[in-house]
Structure 1
Amino acid sequence: MSPTGRSLRPLTILFAPESAYGPTNNCVGIGGVLRRRGHRVVFAAEASWKGRLAPLDFEEDLVELAPPPEQPQDAGQFWKDFIRSTAPEFRKPTIEQLGTWIKPVWEELISGARYCEPQMKEIIDRVQPDVIVEDNVVCFPALTTAGVPFVRIVSCNPLEMKGEHVPPPFSGYPAGDRSEWDEFRAEYDHTHRSLWSDFSVWVTEQGARPLPDLEFIHEGDLNLYVYPESADYTDARPLGPTWHRLDSSVRETQERFTLPPGLADGGALIYFSLGSLGSADVDLMRKVIASLALTPHRYIVSKGPLHEEIELPPNMWGKEFLPQPQILPLVDLVITHGGNNTTTEALHFGKPMILLPLFWDQYDNAQRMAELGYGVRLDPYGFTDAQLHGAIGRLLGDTTLRRTLTEAGETIRTRDGLHTAADLIERAATG
């Protein structure tokens, strides 16, 4: 019997997440609930995730997005390398990144979708899913032509669902100032239309319906997105009946975190993470750490894939990977790149943020938190010590904000997005 009171036969649910930690962890969280309900959960993740999902009791039926590398790669290694090599682009205004960074990312994603299409069809034939769940930003036609319900998850800022009365995605522009919106949209059209048109033709050649104008993915039979109601844009851009908001989607884990003895006493406790991709910019990590070392506070640092190149001063402790959902309840403040997972998890636990956006929707999350008063947005490459230290002091001392965020976090947790998503996927699979 499901939590909704319906007796369900065991379902086979196929997840196809993007090869990055945010979307994959989101699918792991939802998939874990479904697996514990007795369903078979299979991951068609990218091949570098081999051996990382099976220990969580999921089946792995993995795909190559490009010819296999000569040497085995860590999970999501391609994107870590891509981010590190293109990091100079992040210093440009967002409108200038459209042709030199956003478009190349779409090109890589599209190349992967084209390459793995035969593999996806083979996986679907083997797995015979009752429902397919994709957490990605690009269309894989096989997932939408399998003859079973298709569920799309958006684990990016919800500006990805565009609207006339909300800022364009990837811009980081204010919701209350429309003066630059049209110019940004025109530049996006100019830099992306040909790429989109060619991809849409290929998608239809695979038997799928054409893509909506300038969109690289279809809507699903069911559409889920992860963002708290208190920060959402639905008043300005209502969504249709197939769309359902998950106020958060924080994965459940058996990991436990104990505060290291060296951080037991001192000033405020602060968590610093630029995510698995942003932390590949070692120079930026070192710059932030050097500034934070001048403060009287204690820091837990997610060091990321190049952790051996990052040294921490005495007021800090960190590792390559950290159990973020176990750490966030303990801290007073979060310093983040503004990735959707960290942003929504910080709100889930009621924590203020300093946001240092680097790419993609991180600018939109940083701007949204700043304009709502939930945090401070700083230029990751241009901030001064005085700006960063001032933001820390201001957020730690704002008791009204802390009370507001504590109450917001209680509401978000009560809504239980993880189990809501599982209920909706079950419902989609069974009609």
Structure 2
Amino acid sequence: MSPTGRPLRPLTILFAPESAYGPTNNCVGIGDVLRRRGHRVVFAAEASWKGRLAPLGFEEELVNLAPPPEQPQDAGQFWKDFIRDTAPEFRKPTIEQLGTWIKPVWEELVSGARYCEPQMKEIIDRVRPDVIVEDNVVCFPALTTAGVPFVRVVSCNPLEMKGERVPPPFSGYPAGDQSGWDEFRAEYDRTHRALWSDFSTWVTEQGARPLPDLEFVHEGDLNLYTYPESADYTDARPLGPTWHRLDSSVRETEEKFTLPPGLADGGALIYFSLGSLGSADVDLMRRVIASLARTPHRYIVSKGPLHDEIELPPNMWGTEFLPQTRILPLVDLVITHGGNNTITEALHFGKPMIVLPLFWDQYDNAQRMAELGYGVRLDPYRFTDAQLHGAIGRLLSDMTLRRTLTEAGETIRARDGLRTAADLIERAATA
């Protein structure tokens, strides 16, 4: 290391993100800082991302998680289709989803890890990284057995790092009421132990250490997670010295956004997004849009992959993809599915939220925002106009909350999560 703490030579850094937009964009943001510092940044990306990362200045090493499809797919298409086809499961209580939705997701993730293990080994042999960064929830043994520092990034709600004094992940249960925690944990154990045991055995057969009990991924030599301190569970579940919180990790972009003329005047300006996966549920998108059309406000809508099937009324404008981090500073309120990136980005810019959780950690994010008073949690399939419209009205008129979130956003932005992450990865690579 130099006297300033920077590496004396350029590093080769291999990122292995999960195929969804959230983890990939998180790695892109951190990777761009490292690339600008002169390091070689390589992405072991799922094959549907072909051609999406090279224009950003990264090397692409493509990975198939299953036999290649006959026709090329859009980025992350497998998970978009999976969400669309399994959306009826989201209407169930979270404890009932453990066996019918959470377990099938783990099964797909485990299957992908098994399938691509030889590819991962070949990529590591070609790339010869100085450090490997994985932003995923499942173990790829090749990443932990390469003989270089391994960095784990958590782009999910921090309940993923479990503790007896915090609610179980995926439950959406309140932090202040432990009455259902043990039952949920027992059901998770019942539905997942056999799958975990088989996977842990396979992991050790590949030369990696056994997985921790009921965990599908190892901790790293360095561990990073993205969540603002003001919303974290640190007091109830302290973490070890290898763990570092990034209050936010907001990708920097030169992409511009200008408010469409049709939205220049009117009521409050509100951003609505169910994410690239949740928006695949077209019926739900139409339901929310129809309710919002009965308000006096203006809306920017992220329409998602099935945008051609979604019509917007006159008080709305939207497209398939939107530069979310350029839009959030402009709006008064965010209506979101509760994905970790959108939650942390909204807090980064000091915006209140209405959260309509659909799956995975979105229930935990929705509950956390509600119990901290940063937003309102609503059932996406059962809310009424009165509930949604009332929540919009309360959040827009709460000036105390707006001041609180504005101050929180200033603190989060000052902590500069992107450069904090880049600094820590550099140190891990040269320790």
Does the alignment reach a TM-score above 0.5? yes
- The CA deviation at 1:318 is 0.2
Match of 1:28 in 2: 28
Assess, with a 3 A threshold, how the Cα gap between structure 1 residues 2 and 105 changes in structure 2: closer, same or farther: farther
| Equivalent residues in 2 for 1:38-53, closer than 5 Å | 38-53=38-53
> Deviation string for 1:78-105 (max 9, x for gaps)?
0000000000000000000000000000
- The CA deviation at 1:7 is 4.6
Percent of aligned pairs with the same amino acid: 92
Assess, with a 3 A threshold, how the Cα gap between structure 1 residues 7 and 426 changes in structure 2: closer, same or farther: closer
| Equivalent residues in 2 for 1:147-162, closer than 5 Å | 147-162=147-162
- The CA deviation at 1:3 is 11
> Deviation string for 1:212-248 (max 9, x for gaps)?
0000000000000000000000100000000000000
2:355 is the alignment partner of 1:355 = yes
> Matched residue of 1:16: which SS?
strand
Match of 2:237 in 1: 237
| Equivalent residues in 2 for 1:102-141, closer than 5 Å | 102-141=102-141
The runs of 5 or more residues in structure 2 that have no matched partner are none
Instruction: Determine the C-alpha separation between the residues in 2 that align with 1:2 and 1:214.
Output: 41
Assess, with a 3 A threshold, how the Cα gap between structure 1 residues 4 and 412 changes in structure 2: closer, same or farther: farther
> Deviation string for 1:318-377 (max 9, x for gaps)?
000000000000000000000000000000000000000000000000000000000000
- The CA deviation at 1:19 is 0.4
- The CA deviation at 1:424 is 0.1
Instruction: Determine the C-alpha separation between the residues in 2 that align with 1:136 and 1:4.
Output: 31
- The CA deviation at 1:4 is 5.0
Tell me, yes or no, if the aligned pair for 1:2 and 1:37 is still in contact at 8 Å: no
Instruction: Determine the C-alpha separation between the residues in 1 that align with 2:136 and 2:62.
Output: 15
Tell me, yes or no, if the aligned pair for 2:12 and 2:39 is still in contact at 8 Å: yes
> Matched residue of 2:62: which SS?
coil
Instruction: Determine the C-alpha separation between the residues in 1 that align with 2:144 and 2:121.
Output: 11
> Which TM-score applies when normalising by structure 2?
0.99
Match of 1:208 in 2: 208
Instruction: Determine the C-alpha separation between the residues in 1 that align with 2:346 and 2:215.
Output: 29
> Deviation string for 1:153-203 (max 9, x for gaps)?
000000000000000000000000000000000000000000000000000
Instruction: Determine the C-alpha separation between the residues in 1 that align with 2:314 and 2:265.
Output: 12
Tell me, yes or no, if the aligned pair for 1:26 and 1:251 is still in contact at 8 Å: yes
> Matched residue of 2:383: which SS?
coil
> Matched residue of 1:44: which SS?
strand
Tell me, yes or no, if the aligned pair for 2:136 and 2:153 is still in contact at 8 Å: yes
Tell me, yes or no, if the aligned pair for 1:4 and 1:423 is still in contact at 8 Å: no
- The CA deviation at 1:131 is 0.1
Assess, with a 3 A threshold, how the Cα gap between structure 1 residues 7 and 151 changes in structure 2: closer, same or farther: closer
> Matched residue of 1:311: which SS?
coil
Instruction: Determine the C-alpha separation between the residues in 2 that align with 1:185 and 1:37.
Output: 44
Tell me, yes or no, if the aligned pair for 2:6 and 2:426 is still in contact at 8 Å: no
> Deviation string for 1:28-57 (max 9, x for gaps)?
000000000000000001000000000001
Instruction: Determine the C-alpha separation between the residues in 2 that align with 1:113 and 1:3.
Output: 40
- Report the more deviating stretch, 33-42 or 2-11: 2-11
- The CA deviation at 1:8 is 2.6
- The CA deviation at 1:2 is 8.1
Instruction: Determine the C-alpha separation between the residues in 2 that align with 1:421 and 1:299.
Output: 33
> Deviation string for 1:287-346 (max 9, x for gaps)?
000000000000000000000000000000000000000000000000000000000000
- The CA deviation at 1:5 is 4.3
Instruction: Determine the C-alpha separation between the residues in 1 that align with 2:73 and 2:155.
Output: 24
> Matched residue of 1:61: which SS?
strand
- The CA deviation at 1:6 is 2.8
Match of 2:299 in 1: 299
Instruction: Determine the C-alpha separation between the residues in 2 that align with 1:230 and 1:292.
Output: 30
> Deviation string for 1:115-139 (max 9, x for gaps)?
0000000000000000000000000
Tell me, yes or no, if the aligned pair for 2:7 and 2:430 is still in contact at 8 Å: no
Instruction: Determine the C-alpha separation between the residues in 1 that align with 2:273 and 2:236.
Output: 31
> Matched residue of 1:62: which SS?
strand
- The CA deviation at 1:401 is 0.1
Tell me, yes or no, if the aligned pair for 1:338 and 1:357 is still in contact at 8 Å: yes
Tell me, yes or no, if the aligned pair for 2:145 and 2:207 is still in contact at 8 Å: yes
Instruction: Determine the C-alpha separation between the residues in 1 that align with 2:399 and 2:292.
Output: 22
Tell me, yes or no, if the aligned pair for 1:29 and 1:418 is still in contact at 8 Å: yes
> Deviation string for 1:234-271 (max 9, x for gaps)?
10000000000000000000101000000000000000
Tell me, yes or no, if the aligned pair for 1:276 and 1:305 is still in contact at 8 Å: yes
Tell me, yes or no, if the aligned pair for 1:149 and 1:221 is still in contact at 8 Å: yes
Instruction: Determine the C-alpha separation between the residues in 2 that align with 1:66 and 1:369.
Output: 37
Instruction: Determine the C-alpha separation between the residues in 1 that align with 2:308 and 2:216.
Output: 37
Instruction: Determine the C-alpha separation between the residues in 1 that align with 2:4 and 2:265.
Output: 45
Instruction: Determine the C-alpha separation between the residues in 2 that align with 1:53 and 1:228.
Output: 27
> Matched residue of 1:152: which SS?
strand
The runs of 5 or more residues in structure 1 that have no matched partner are none
Assess, with a 3 A threshold, how the Cα gap between structure 1 residues 263 and 218 changes in structure 2: closer, same or farther: same
Tell me, yes or no, if the aligned pair for 2:7 and 2:426 is still in contact at 8 Å: no
Assess, with a 3 A threshold, how the Cα gap between structure 1 residues 420 and 321 changes in structure 2: closer, same or farther: same
Assess, with a 3 A threshold, how the Cα gap between structure 1 residues 3 and 226 changes in structure 2: closer, same or farther: farther
Instruction: Determine the C-alpha separation between the residues in 2 that align with 1:302 and 1:411.
Output: 28
| Equivalent residues in 2 for 1:317-356, closer than 5 Å | 317-356=317-356
Assess, with a 3 A threshold, how the Cα gap between structure 1 residues 289 and 4 changes in structure 2: closer, same or farther: farther
Instruction: Determine the C-alpha separation between the residues in 1 that align with 2:12 and 2:346.
Output: 32
